[in-house]
Amino acid sequence: MYKYDEYDHSIVAARVEEFRDQVNRRLAGQITEDQFKPLRLMNGLYLQLHAYMLRVAVPYGTLDSRQMHMLAHIARKYDRGYGHFTTRQNLQYNWIKLEDAPDILAELATVEMHAIQTSGNCIRNISSDQFAGAAADELTDPRPWAELLRQWSTFHPEFSYLPRKFKIAVIAAEEDRAAMRLHDIGLQIVERDGKLGVAVYVGGGMGRTPMIAPLIKDYVPFEDFVSYLEACLRVYNRYGRRDNIYKARIKILIHELGAEKYAAEVEEEFKAVKALGIDPPRAEFDRIAAYFAPPAYDAEAPDALDRSDPDFAVWLDQNVSAHKQPGYAVVTISLKPIGGIPGDASADQIDLMADLAKTYSFDELRVTHAQNIVLPHVRKADLYGLWQQLRDAGLAEANLDLISDIIACPGLDYCSLANARSIPLAQKIATRFSDIGRQRELGELKLKISGCINACGHHHAGHIGILGVDRKGVENYQLLLGGSGAEDVSLGTITGPGFSEDGIVDAIEKATDVYLRERDKGERFLDTYRRLGMAPFKEAIYG
Amino acid sequence: MKLLTGNDLASGDVTWWTGTGWSRHVEDAVDVGDQGEAIAHAEEGARRVNGPYVIDATATPEGPRPAHIKDRIRALGPTVRPDLTLKPADPNAGSWVI
Chain B CB within 8 Å of residue A96 CB: yes
| Within-domain flag for B94 | no
Task: Place A473 in a pLDDT band, splitting at 50, 70 and 90.
Answer: confident
Residue B61 structural domain? 2-84
Suggest the residue from A36, A421, A472 to mutate for an interface test with chain B (most B CBs closer than 10 A): A421
Kindly report the backbone phi and psi dihedral angles of residue A130, in degrees, each rounded to the nearest multiple of 5, phi listed first.
-70, -15
Q: Note whether residue B91 is domain-resident.
A: no
Q: What secondary structure letter does DSSP report for A79?
A: S
Q: Pick from A496, A437, A423, A191: which is nearest to A314 by CA?
A: A437
Asked whether B27 and B64 are in contact (CB, 8 A), the reply is yes
Q: What are the C-alpha distances in Å from B59 to residues A94, A313, A416, B90?
A: 30, 57, 24, 20
The yes-or-no verdict on residue B94 having pLDDT over 90 is: no
Q: How confident is the model at residue B91 (pLDDT cuts 50, 70, 90)?
A: confident
Query: Between A431 and A1, whose confidence is greater?
Result: A431
The proportion of chain A whose per-residue pLDDT surpasses 70, expressed as a percent, equals 100
pLDDT band at residue A188 using 50, 70 and 90 as cut-offs: very high
Number of compact structural domains in chain B:
1
User: Is A52 within 8 Å of chain B by CB?
Assistant: yes
Q: Between β-strands A127-128 and A474-481, what pairing exists: parallel, antiparallel or unpaired?
A: unpaired
The backbone region for B12, taken as left when phi is positive above 0, alpha when psi lies in -120 to 50, beta otherwise, is left
b/e per residue, A32-53, with b = 16+ CB within 10 A? eeeebbebbbbbbbbbbbbbbb
What's the rounded Cα separation, in Å, for the pair A384 and A302? 14
**Mean pLDDT throughout A10-18?**
97
Give the mean model confidence (pLDDT) for residues A2-16.
94
Say if residue A72 is exposed, middle or buried (CB neighbours under 10 Å; 0-12, 13-18, 19+).
Answer: buried
Percent share of chain A, pLDDT over 90? 99
In a domain, B14, yes or no: yes
Q: What is the ipTM of this complex?
A: 0.97
Residue of A31, A50, A344 to mutate, testing the B interface (most B Cβ within 10 Å of its Cβ): A50
* pLDDT tier, A19 (very low <50, low <70, confident <90, very high otherwise): very high
Which residues of chain B make contact with A96, given a CB cutoff of 8 A?
A: 12
Q: Is A179 helix (H, G, I), strand (E, B) or coil?
A: coil
Please write the tens of the pLDDT for every residue from A321-348. 999 999 999 999 999 999 999 999 999 9
The answer to the question of residue B97 being in a domain is no
List for chain B the helix, strand, coil content (%; round to 5).
30, 30, 45
Mean pLDDT (whole number) for A359-388: 98
Any bridge partners for residue A62, and if so which?
A366
Q: Are the beta carbons of B50 and A423 separated by less than 8 Å?
A: no
Average pLDDT score over chain A = 97
Length of chain A, in residues: 543
Confidence grade of residue B92 (pLDDT, cut at 50, 70, 90): confident
Asked if A80's CB is within 8 angstroms of B84's CB, the reply is: yes
CA distance A130 to A12: 25
Q: Is residue B93 part of a domain?
A: no
A424: nearest CB among B12, B44, B79:
B79
Residue B92 covered by a domain? no
Contacts with A474 from chain B: Cβ below 8 Å: 69
* Helical H segments across A4-142, by residue range: 6-27, 33-41, 65-78, 101-109
Between positions 39 and 98 of B, the ones with CB within 8 A of A are 44, 47, 50-51, 67-70, 73-74, 77-81, 84
pLDDT bin (cut points 50, 70, 90) of residue A184 is very high
Structural domain includes residue B95: no
Q: Which residues on chain B are in Cβ contact (under 8 Å) with A408?
A: none
Mean pLDDT of A186-202: 98
In a domain? residue B31: yes
- The confidence score (pLDDT) of residue A169 equals 98
Report yes or no on whether pTM surpasses 0.90. yes
Mutate to test the interface with A, among B5, B8, B11 (most CBs of A within 10 A): B11
Is B74 close to A341, i.e. CB distance below 8 A?
A: no
